[in-house]
Amino acid sequence: MPEHAEQSLTDLLFSADAVRRIDQYIIGQQGVDGFDLMQAAARAAFRQLVARWPGTEPLLVLCGAGNNGGDGYLVAASAVRHGLAVGCVAVAPVEKLSGDARKAWQKAVADGVDVQELAGTGEADLEAWFAGAGLVVDAMLGTGVAGAPREPFADLIRRCNRSGLPVLAVDMPSGLDATTGVARGEVVQASATVTFIGQKAGLYTGQGAAVSGDVVFETLNAEAGVAASGEKPTAILRRWPSVRSWLPARPGHAHKGRFGHVLIVAGDHGFGGAGVLAAEAAARAGAGLVSLATRPAHVSAALARCPSVMVRGLDHGSELAEMLTAATVVVCGPGLGQSAWGQQMLQQVMASSTPRVLDADALNLLAGRVAAPLDNQILTPHPGEAARLLSCQVPAVETDRVAAARKLQSQYGGVAVLKGAGTVIASDTGPVSIAGGCHPGMATGGMGDVLSGIMGALYAQQPELPAQVATVAASVHFEAAHRASASRGYMGLLPTDVIEALPQVLRESETPGYCREEKE
């Protein structure tokens, strides 16, 4: 997988502490004036505000005590200079302002901004501020969140969310941890977030992916400072357009034997559809051959749905050995169950040297085993399965998804893919990747089966690149869901809709004329 040095600054995700150190380096070592940097951030935020909500006013700008509040005061000043109606509220008392934040407040007042102190304000005034506003600018807490927001910030956050108004968050939605993407209390539900200097990892995973809205990154011309600071990213953001070139080339004279044989081991009694979904997804994701080992009762239905898949009904795990030998990659777990049948199947898979993708009940069964870490496997747990694998509770996983993915990888080896809003992919080298995003339509049974099938197909085509494969699979899976929901909506989105969207998404990785020359 390409290293972070080859990535643009837009794709590098940093912790809150790392971004603060970058700020300090730019100001202290490169001689950039901190107040000039704050003014540049405010100008960038105001540009986004006007571009997204032209003519929307009055603005209600909520300002905290730190530099994030300073950004807010300067946004308010820009709005007044451009003739917009502005209500600016000092959520923290102005006497607590210091440094550049105090300079920003003074400039706002000098430019004609009427700053109203929250202290001593009555309920009627609070209600009137929100009732009369057309847009809220959240500049209360920024990256300085260490726990649940205290009052009066928590109350203002609740009022923002109840108001139904569009909200522009400056740098971070207030209440969101910039490093982990967790909210330990009230958090602003932003329509858009404008963030500066370095991208924050917390905007792209966990609750951050859900509450940040559209994220716009403004470098403020700090690229050289970020590089010179020596700060390492926590993660790399991987979007479908940036990874589609990672798919292998296909020359015109290709044949099915060149693109791997995926074996799906899935579908105990009552769960036959899981194996069918995984098998069909594998076929649609370009596997040369796909076999499905399932319960005999599911064979007819599987063949009716996917006639291109080789389906075999098995009664006992001992029947699986021959199929494993013929496979390039095995996907084990969708609908596997935890009965004797599923346990027998998993035992055969784990005893084999065939590279594997483990999902669903294979992970639940694996959680009770003590085994040495293995390199030739990709684990794809959702947070509940990850908690079982790590012998902890789900909140512990979701509190720091990047750390949880790293721990999974360290404990079990191979590549760990922690599914969810902002899927986290961890290997044993380099920073983790965050792929996909937040999509409510994917919260339905069978979506994970589709991902495991896609992952198996791509792994079979590039068995030497499991981390890259996992990242591309997560990206294309999310992109297919996004496009399918564009015409169908998200409430009724089905896994089969995602499978149907796959060819059009994957087509974008192909060269016109479908005759790509192989590299020497």
Task: List the chain domain ranges.
Answer: 4-233, 242-246+256-509
For the segment 61-88, what is each residue's pLDDT rounded down to a tens digit?
999 999 999 999 999 999 999 999 999 9
Q: Which residues contact 422 (CB under 8 A, 6 or more apart)?
A: 181, 204, 205, 206, 208, 209, 401, 434, 435, 436, 437, 438
pLDDT of residue 512: 57
| Residue 161 known to bind ligand | no
| Residue 279 known to bind ligand | no
Residue with structure tokens 């000043």?
77
> Is there a contact between 220 and 27 (Cβ–Cβ < 8 Å)?
no
* Residue 100 confidence class, pLDDT cut points 50, 70, 90: very high
> Is there a contact between 342 and 363 (Cβ–Cβ < 8 Å)?
no
* Residue 2 confidence class, pLDDT cut points 50, 70, 90: very low
| Residue 177 known to bind ligand | no
What spatial distance separates the first Cα and last Cα of the chain, rounded to whole Å?
A: 20
Residue 4 has pLDDT above 50, yes or no: no
Q: Indicate yes or no: pTM above 0.85.
A: yes
Query: Residue 492, class by beta-carbon neighbours within 10 Å (0-12 exposed, 13-18 middle, 19+ buried)?
Result: exposed
Of 422-426, 470-474, 477-481, 487-491, which range is least confident? 487-491
For the segment 386-408, what is each residue's pLDDT rounded down to a tens digit?
999 999 999 999 999 999 999 99
Q: Phi, psi at residue 58, to the nearest 5°?
A: -70, 155
| Residue 449 known to bind ligand | yes
| Residue 420 known to bind ligand | yes
| Residue 101 known to bind ligand | no
pLDDT of residue 520: 39
For the segment 121-141, what is each residue's pLDDT rounded down to a tens digit?
888 989 999 999 999 999 999
* Residue 337 confidence class, pLDDT cut points 50, 70, 90: very high
| Residue 201 known to bind ligand | no
For the segment 201-258, what is each residue's pLDDT rounded down to a tens digit?
999 999 999 999 999 999 999 999 999 999 999 999 999 999 999 998 888 888 998 9
| Residue 274 known to bind ligand | yes
> Is there a contact between 434 and 424 (Cβ–Cβ < 8 Å)?
yes
| Residue 146 known to bind ligand | yes
| Residue 501 known to bind ligand | no
> Is there a contact between 173 and 192 (Cβ–Cβ < 8 Å)?
no
| Residue 134 known to bind ligand | no
| Residue 448 known to bind ligand | yes
CATH T-level assignment (fold) for domain 242-246+256-509: UDP-N-acetylmuramoyl-L-alanine:D-glutamate ligase (3.40.1190)
| Residue 513 known to bind ligand | no
| Residue 147 known to bind ligand | yes
Question: Using alpha carbons only, what angle is made at residue 215 by residues 220 and 67, rounded to the nearest 5 degrees?
Answer: 50
| Residue 315 known to bind ligand | no
Spell out the CATH class of 4-233.
alpha beta
List the one residue out of 388, 384, 390 whose CA is nearest residue 403: 390
Tokens encoding 32: 């950039």
